[in-house]
Amino acid sequence: MSKPRWQINQERSKKQENGIAKELGGRRVPGSGSMRGNKGDVSAPDVLVEAKTTSSKAGSYNVRAEVWRKISREAQTVGKEAALQVDLLGERVVVLSWNYYRTLRDHYRYC
């Protein structure tokens, strides 16, 4: 018997979040940020990440202003930068604020 779609999506999201946490030296947020006081999907030392995946058929994700505002606001309340990481059919894409991008670029340019 095959698994229901919601369970497959939940497993895919958990795997994505665990991978991000491991790479960034952070932790997966219990309940994927749905519990009061626990924000975002992954909390790393300097960044709060909202993780999104696409199904094998869709292959696209629309960045909605309300999603970006939510993760930005949550990150600001805990003194971190915001990032939205989207898996697009195996391609990993990150959305950052322009100011944070410039900070990272300038930092690594002079290292």
**pLDDT per position as a tens digit, 20-36:** 999 999 999 987 656 66
pLDDT greater than 80 at residue 103: yes
Neighbours of 106 (CB within 10 A): 10
Distance CA 43, CA 21 (A): 7
Model confidence pLDDT, tens digit, residues 47-82: 999 999 887 676 788 899 999 999 999 999 999 999
pTM for the structure as a whole: 0.87
